[in-house]
């Protein structure tokens, strides 16, 4: 049984738990729940907190192991391992995590070579789609697991994990991209209000420009550099704006390429985004001119907010982890985020989301049991308690368990029946576009000031 | 280096056992040679100094960065450290202790990977290079050019075919795959380099040994190997570095589990799932740097000494 | 392989010229070694073929060989492997080295065999399969429609991509500039510091970048080129220097075509250490007698460099030049880490990586790798000519 990824004291607890469990198992196989009660101590996730009976249908699993592969690395991975422990305590399955930043390139190599993990946590559905189509080695979600998914996730989320009509993956951690980061203190000092509509947002930007005539402080900062994924933050801007200006129906058609990428509607949306990102008056606080957006990493992009060089930075909820140590992320703290506003008079609140997806490569009872656990509300709640900005689209996630305020906000968005949730379109488009031409051309759009129509034509022509 | 060379009729250029030369040059004589072989103008010294400076500055900046607090790194250049010195070991502390797996585990793995992955290819390449230089067989040159041309095959195209084979024979995930792969990838360059050094060894030396009745094996060990010490030492250092700094091969064939993962796997994780944390990357880079540089300095001394001795000591 | 060249000049087989070869009995142990090496070959070929047809029997290895989970186990496995390897090699060499007559081919195959077997498994077979894949669709291994034969489509795609000319242009710039500058600087430095006080230390300084991984080096230089608006303090050294001399900060990585040169600088920074080390080893190998003789003739300084040093180390210079050329063609980490191939800085190797491991279009990726093979042909031809030349001299 695994004791990786936890402090010494928790490891010890788990060892004690293990020996108790083994002792108990020797006598009676069905006594899983009562063993669990002895382990839950000091808020450590113990098996008492989860419903072990869910896994009895898979038979006696003790002594088996499940290998898990993900793009998450330490220290975040330790939160995952901690959240796996109650399942391990329940079933006796040893979950072996392998955590690597090289996941994206490696997973395809491993699957093609016949060496896949039992379970993989795909960082985006696009990659899952690729692996399904190119290798044919991904297994459909197990029926036991799907039953649990149906209890916990809305129908939309099932669609994102479906490839060619078969349901392959269900969401793990999700994030909301419709956020604009700001400093509540700086806003208060300057007397600015959080804007409620797109028009307010532009008015606020103009106000900031007017209040800082020497141009040293800008309303916006931005950064889209991200190694060989440079350009992706622009696609979030476009998608968010597309959803707001053209509506969800058009958005779906756009993602599915039922409307051309270079349609006039798209040009309007890009120009609207360009009115901020390509506006020398608005950007790029703390870094320089528009061009610097392309040379600034998205990780660094929002940092000038801290020293007052810019006021706003549009970035997903996971950016909470990027602030330097000691920065308080809260409504009354150093930084916080507001909802990227919809247009005036809009009656919907569109939310753009991204998510990791869990899929399996091997069919064994312990793998079935583990995916079932990962789909459960127990897991979502336990994992949320471990922090690192985790938030799940699981409808039965108790928002109180979510650690960071910004993730709470995201969780509320996910569970809000009025919210109009749409998935990150670039992740759903074919790789040639979604992680190819779209990023590349968006980068040229910013860095070289390439004409909007030319950019859209180039992306359109890259569609396979 | 300490060989008893076969009594050969020495060609004037051979450096071993020349009778007219004293066994050891006096210090004064050595200095005289040194002075004459060097380019001693002030310009020369100036150029060397400037180059050394330019080449060191980026690394030096990295060192300074690694001991500055995170906030300062983001807001001011490292050169401001001279006017406003700040010092913290927190970055190093995180690098060394911030993981659930003990740092020593990764260190041991790297060591276990590196040593065979240096010894094996160099031995095999030396033998092959010898055959390509001194054993006549049909198709030799064609074969040599083929081996040479293999240098261009990018490592990445081998990943899937090789891993498939490793999985098939049940070795995937073990150290064996990493040793084997590193050995294979090093061969074309190693053979090419050793071949070039070997074929320049005066023919008379080899011939003389043959006349003396020595077979290929003995010629290889007694005549060529001692003369190749600097080349071997140089290549050892490079092979060591490539293996030491490798992430891709280890990750693909052995996987990233603590049982086999080398130091680089840990270092690659340092900046977290999304961040690019300068303070950690710089400290991590330095931790990774220490051993290779020590090896280089050690290897330097070894092969400079080995050469200056010139096989005379024996 | 097995052909025996008729003994010419001194090559009267390894039995030695003094002994009349026909009268000595053949060494059967040596013969056995030769046969053994041939079997090894057959085994490797068999393994590749079996793997291709998914017919390799699963071997269950003893756990101490494949599953070492403690430090002691790992270290002992390592010692075991090194000892095993050296033992086997020593045994083979011992057996092949006989007082009796040894057929030439057994010696040749014992010396070259291990290298060729390894290369066959790990480079030749993947190289060939890459060439095959370049004629297939996205996913040449799968049993789906994505693995269909597409002929020259991948190559057609390459040459009709609008950015492709830029990629090719950049690759050429890289492959010409990097070896030239790195070898020149490495040579100058090696000569300048040869036999000076603290030579090892001076070398260590230039060598340092070699000890940093490519990705690490790219990150360092990204930081050096970092741009901040003129109004704020710079954190990148390059721009700070510009500011110090009164210029505006400059976007080193964004502005084409100069940005390619700034990326190349990183590669030069790394490779100069390689060039310097090899060249220095070659300089050390120049026999003292030659230098002494030249010195007695009154040669010194630049003339010594021009007429003694350079001719003596010419082979080493070529080795370094060829090696750096090959390495440069393959390098993609720098471009990938620093610009991601944007801003018109991409090179063939980066496109290869992107297509294979970002887009997972392995067919197109393989076509790019084949393009690399093609680009290197001139270097190979040149090497063949050098080989001929040196054979003639000998």
Range of the structural domain that residue B138 is part of? 27-38+89-309
Answer whether the bond into residue A436 is a cis peptide, omega within 30°.
Answer: no
Q: HEC string of A183-219?
A: CHHHHHHHCCCCCCEHHHHHHHHHHHHHHCCCCCCEE
In a domain, B3, yes or no: no
CA angle A156, A161, A166 (to 5 degrees): 105
A86 lies in the same domain as A153? yes
A242 lies in the same domain as A378? no
Neighbours of A5 (CB within 10 A): 23
Does C66 sit within 8 Å of B171, measured CB to CB? yes
pLDDT of residue B276: 61
Interface of B with C in 129-188 (CB under 8 A): 130-132, 135-139, 141, 143-145, 147-158, 160-162, 164-165, 168-171, 173-176, 179-181, 183-185, 187-188
**CA distance linking residue A49 with residue A378, whole number of Å:** 8
**pLDDT, greater one: B12 or C103:** C103
Checking phi first, is residue C195 left (phi over 0); if not, alpha (psi -120 to 50) or beta? Answer: left
In a domain, A312, yes or no: yes
- Cα nearest neighbour of B210 on chain C: C16
Three-state DSSP at A174 gives strand
Note the ipTM here: 0.84
A341 lies in the same domain as A300? yes
C58, C340, C351, C361: which to substitute to probe chain A, counting the most A Cβ within 10 Å? C340
CA angle B134, B137, B142 (to 5 degrees): 95
Asked if A50 contacts A382 with a C-beta cutoff of 8 angstroms, the reply is yes
C213, C372, C381, C392: which to substitute to probe chain B, counting the most B Cβ within 10 Å? C213
The CA distances from residue A135 to A117, A167, C147, in Å, are 14, 16, 10
In a domain, B6, yes or no: no
Q: What is the mean pLDDT of residues C82-95?
A: 90
In a domain, A276, yes or no: yes
In a domain, A402, yes or no: yes
The CA distances from residue C67 to A96, B170, B172, B175, in Å, are 15, 11, 11, 9
In a domain, B281, yes or no: yes
**CA distance linking residue C171 with residue A206, whole number of Å:** 45
DSSP B254: I
A320 lies in the same domain as A213? yes
> pLDDT (tens digit, 9 = 90+) per residue, C225-267?
988 888 788 888 999 999 999 998 999 999 888 999 999 999 9
Q: Which of B174, B187, B218 sits opposite C118 (nearest CB)?
A: B187
Kindly indicate the confidence band of residue C394, based on its pLDDT and cuts at 50, 70 and 90: low
**Residue B146 is part of a domain; what is its CATH number?**
1.10.3720.10
In a domain, A50, yes or no: no
The CA distances from residue A147 to A154, A371, C120, in Å, are 12, 11, 50
Instruction: Looking at the complex, report in whole angstroms how far the Cα of residue C163 sits from the nearest Cα belonging to chain B.
Output: 22
pLDDT of residue B301: 65
A214 lies in the same domain as A342? yes
Beta strand ranges found along A253-411 (DSSP E): 310-314, 336-339, 349-360
Q: Are strands A349-360 and A170-176 parallel, antiparallel or unpaired?
A: antiparallel
A215 lies in the same domain as A335? yes
> pLDDT (tens digit, 9 = 90+) per residue, B95-104?
887 776 778 8
Q: What is the pTM of this model?
A: 0.86
Question: Under CATH, which number does the domain C164-345 receive?
Answer: 1.10.3720.10
Our CA dihedral for A407, A410, A412, A413, rounded to 10 degrees, sits at 180
Asked if A224 contacts A298 with a C-beta cutoff of 8 angstroms, the reply is yes
Structure token digits, residue A57? 């249908």
**CA distance linking residue C201 with residue C211, whole number of Å:** 15
In a domain, A39, yes or no: no
In a domain, B269, yes or no: yes
The segments of chain A whose pLDDT lies below 70 read 1-48
Of A253-257, A457-461, B39-43, B155-159, the one with minimum mean pLDDT is B39-43
Domain ranges of chain C: 21-52+59-133, 164-345
Range of the structural domain that residue A381 is part of? 57-176+353-418
Q: Which one of A305-319, B252-266, B292-306, C147-161 scores highest in mean pLDDT?
A: A305-319
Structure token digits, residue A453? 């129509």
Does C138 sit within 8 Å of A134, measured CB to CB? yes
**pLDDT, greater one: A353 or B20:** A353
The number of CA neighbours under 13 Å toward the Cβ of A445 is 32
A186 lies in the same domain as A163? no
pLDDT of residue B30: 57
**Residue A265 is part of a domain; what is its CATH number?**
3.40.190.10
Domain count, chain A: 2
Q: Which of B152, B184, B216 sits opposite C14 (nearest CB)?
A: B216
Interface of C with B in 88-127 (CB under 8 A): 89, 93-94, 96-98, 102, 104-105, 107-108, 110-112, 114-116, 118-119, 121-127
- Cα nearest neighbour of A117 on chain B: B255
Q: Which of C231, C253, C358 sits opposite A216 (nearest CB)?
A: C231
For residues C266-297, one letter each, b for 16 or more C-beta atoms within 10 angstroms of the residue's C-beta and e for the rest, the string is bbbbbbbbbbbbbbbbbbbbbbbebbbebbee
**CA distance linking residue C189 with residue C186, whole number of Å:** 5
Interface of C with B in 139-198 (CB under 8 A): 141, 185, 188-189, 191-196
In a domain, B151, yes or no: yes
Q: Which of B14, B108, B211 sits opposite C74 (nearest CB)?
A: B108
CA B185 to the chain's CA centroid: 14
DSSP A7: -
Q: Residue A233: which H helix or E strand, with range? A: helix A232-245
**CA distance linking residue A96 with residue C236, whole number of Å:** 42
In a domain, B180, yes or no: yes
In a domain, A16, yes or no: no
Domain count, chain B: 1
A323 lies in the same domain as A458? yes
**CA distance linking residue B172 with residue C67, whole number of Å:** 11
DSSP codes joined into one string, B104-142: HHHHHHHHHHHHHHHHHHHHHHHHHHHHHHH--BTTHHH
In a domain, B229, yes or no: yes
Closest CA to C238 of B77, B64, A285: B77
Of B289-293, B305-309, C346-350, the one with minimum mean pLDDT is B305-309
Q: Which of C230, C340, C343 sits opposite A228 (nearest CB)?
A: C340
A152 lies in the same domain as A113? yes
User: Is residue B105 scored above 90 in pLDDT?
Assistant: no
A121 lies in the same domain as A163? yes
Q: What is the mean pLDDT of residues B81-100?
A: 83
Q: Residue B144: which H helix or E strand, with range? A: helix B140-149
Residues from chain C contacting residue B161 (CB–CB below 8 Å): 51, 125-126, 129
A149 lies in the same domain as A241? no
């Amino acid at each position: 049984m695994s004791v990786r990824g936890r402090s010494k004291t928790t490891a010890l607890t788990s060892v004690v738990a293990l020996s108790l469990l083994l002792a108990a198992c020797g006598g009676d196989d069905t006594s899983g729940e009562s063993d669990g009660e002895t382990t839950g101590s000091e808020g450590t996730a113990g098996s008492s907190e989860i419903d072990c009976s869910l896994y009895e249908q898979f038979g006696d699993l003790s002594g088996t192991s499940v290998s898990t592969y993900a793009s998450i690395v330490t220290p975040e991975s330790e939160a995952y391992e901690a959240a796996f422990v109650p399942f391990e305590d329940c079933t006796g399955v040893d979950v072996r995590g392998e955590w690597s930043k090289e996941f994206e390139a490696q997973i395809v190599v491993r699957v093609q070579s016949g060496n896949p993990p039992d379970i993989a946590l795909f960082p985006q559905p696009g990659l899952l789609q690729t692996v399904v189509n190119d290798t044919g080695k991904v297994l459909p979600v197990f029926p036991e697991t799907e039953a649990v998914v149906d209890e916990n996730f809305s129908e939309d989320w099932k669609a994102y994990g479906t490839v060619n009509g078969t349901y392959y993956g269900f969401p793990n951690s999700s994030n909301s991209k419709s956020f604009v980061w700001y400093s509540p203190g700086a806003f208060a000092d300057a007397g600015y209000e959080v804007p409620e509509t797109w028009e307010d947002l532009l008015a606020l930007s103009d106000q900031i420009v007017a209040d800082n005539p020497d141009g040293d402080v800008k309303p916006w900062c931005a950064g889209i550099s991200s190694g060989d994924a440079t350009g992706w933050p622009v696609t979030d801007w476009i998608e968010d704006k597309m959803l707001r200006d053209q509506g969800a129906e058009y958005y779906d058609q756009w993602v599915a390429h039922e409307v051309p990428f270079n349609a006039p509607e798209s040009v309007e949306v890009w120009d609207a985004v360009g009115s901020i990102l390509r506006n020398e008056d608005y950007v790029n606080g703390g870094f320089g001119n528009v061009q610097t957006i392309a040379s600034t990493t998205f990780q660094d992009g929002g940092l000038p907010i801290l020293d007052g060089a810019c006021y706003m930075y549009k970035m997903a909820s996971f950016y909470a982890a990027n602030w330097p140590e000691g920065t308080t992320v809260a409504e009354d703290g150093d930084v916080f985020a507001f909802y990227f506003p919809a247009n005036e008079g809009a009656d919907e609140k569109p939310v753009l989301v991204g998510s990791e997806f869990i899929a399996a490569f091997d069919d064994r009872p312990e793998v079935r049991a583990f995916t079932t656990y990962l789909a459960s509300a127990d897991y979502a709640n336990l994992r949320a308690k471990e922090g690192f900005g985790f938030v799940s689209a699981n409808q039965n996630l108790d928002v109180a368990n979510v650690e960071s305020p910004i993730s709470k906000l995201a969780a509320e968005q996910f569970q809000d029946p009025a919210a109009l949730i749409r998935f990150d379109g670039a992740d759903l488009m074919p790789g040639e576009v979604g992680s190819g031409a779209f990023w590349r051309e968006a980068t040229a759009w910013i860095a070289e000031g390439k004409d909007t129509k030319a950019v859209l034509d180039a992306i359109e022509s890259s569609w396979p | 280096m300490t060989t008893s060379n076969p009594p050969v009729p020495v060609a004037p250029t051979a450096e071993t056992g020349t009778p007219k030369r004293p066994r050891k040059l006096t210090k004064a004589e050595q200095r005289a040679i040194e002075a004459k072989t060097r380019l001693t103008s002030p310009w020369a010294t100036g150029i060397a100094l400037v180059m050394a400076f330019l080449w060191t500055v980026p690394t030096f900046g990295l060192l300074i960065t690694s001991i500055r607090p995170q906030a300062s790194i983001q807001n001011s250049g490292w050169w401001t450290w001279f006017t406003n010195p700040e010092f913290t070991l927190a970055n190093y502390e995180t690098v060394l202790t911030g993981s659930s797996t003990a740092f020593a585990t990764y260190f041991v793995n790297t060591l276990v990977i590196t040593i065979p992955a240096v010894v094996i290819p160099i031995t095999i390449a030396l033998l092959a290079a010898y055959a390509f230089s001194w054993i006549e067989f049909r198709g030799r040159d064609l074969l040599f050019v083929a081996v040479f041309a293999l240098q261009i095959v990018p490592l990445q195209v081998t990943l899937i075919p090789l891993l498939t084979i490793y999985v098939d024979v049940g070795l995937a995930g073990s150290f064996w795959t990493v040793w084997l792969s590193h050995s294979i990838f090093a061969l074309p360059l190693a053979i090419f380099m050793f071949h070039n050094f070997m074929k320049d060894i005066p023919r008379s030396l080899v011939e003389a040994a043959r006349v003396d009745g020595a077979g290929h094996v003995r010629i290889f060990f007694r005549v060529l190997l001692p003369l190749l010490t600097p080349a071997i030492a140089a290549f050892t250092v490079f092979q060591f570095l490539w293996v030491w700094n490798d992430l891709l091969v280890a990750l693909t064939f052995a996987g990233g589990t603590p049982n086999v993962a080398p130091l680089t796997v840990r270092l690659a994780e340092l900046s977290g799932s999304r961040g690019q944390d300068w303070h950690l990357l710089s400290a991590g880079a330095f931790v990774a740097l220490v051993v290779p540089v020590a090896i280089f300095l050690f290897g330097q001394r070894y092969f400079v000494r080995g050469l200056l001795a010139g096989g005379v000591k024996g | 392989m097995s052909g025996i060249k008729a003994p010419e000049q001194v090559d009267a087989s390894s039995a030695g010229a003094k002994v009349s070869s026909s009268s000595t009995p053949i060494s059967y142990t040596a013969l056995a070694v030769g046969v053994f090496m041939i079997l090894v070959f057959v085994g490797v070929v068999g393994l590749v073929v079996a793997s291709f047809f998914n017919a390799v029997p699963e071997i269950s290895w003893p756990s101490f060989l494949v599953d070492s989970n403690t430090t002691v186990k790992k270290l002992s496995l390592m010692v075991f492997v090194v000892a095993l390897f050296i033992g086997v090699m020593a045994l083979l060499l011992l057996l092949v080295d006989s007082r009796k007559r040894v057929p030439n081919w057994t010696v040749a195959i014992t010396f070259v065999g291990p290298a060729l077997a390894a290369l066959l498994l790990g480079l030749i077979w993947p190289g060939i399969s890459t060439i095959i894949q370049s004629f297939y669709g996205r996913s040449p291994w799968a049993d789906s429609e994505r693995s269909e034969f597409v002929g020259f489509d991948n190559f057609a795609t390459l040459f009709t991509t609008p950015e492709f000319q830029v990629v090719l242009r950049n690759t050429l710039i890289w492959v010409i500039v990097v070896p030239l500058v790195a070898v020149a600087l490495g040579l100058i430095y090696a000569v300048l510091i040869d036999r000076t006080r603290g030579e090892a230390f001076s070398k260590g300084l230039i060598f340092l970048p070699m000890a940093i991984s490519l990705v690490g080096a790219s990150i360092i230089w990204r930081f050096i080129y970092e741009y901040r608006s003129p109004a704020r303090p710079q954190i990148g050294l390059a721009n700070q220097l510009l500011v110090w001399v009164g210029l505006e900060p400059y976007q080193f990585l964004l502005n084409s075509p100069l940005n390619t040169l700034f990326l190349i600088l990183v590669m030069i920074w790394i490779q100069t250490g390689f060039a310097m080390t090899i060249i220095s080893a070659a300089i050390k190998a120049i026999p003292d007698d030659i230098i002494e003789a030249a010195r007695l003739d009154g040669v010194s300084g630049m003339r010594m460099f021009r007429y003694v040093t350079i001719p003596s180390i010419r082979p080493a210079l070529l080795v370094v030049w060829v090696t750096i050329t090959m390495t440069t063609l393959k390098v993609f980490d720098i471009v990938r880490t620093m610009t991601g191939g944007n801003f018109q800085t991409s090179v063939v190797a980066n496109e290869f990586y992107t297509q294979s491991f970002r887009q997972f279009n392995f067919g197109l990726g393989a076509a790019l790798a084949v393009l690399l093979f093609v680009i290197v042909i001139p270097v190979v031809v040149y090497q063949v000519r050098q080989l001929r030349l040196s054979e003639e001299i000998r």
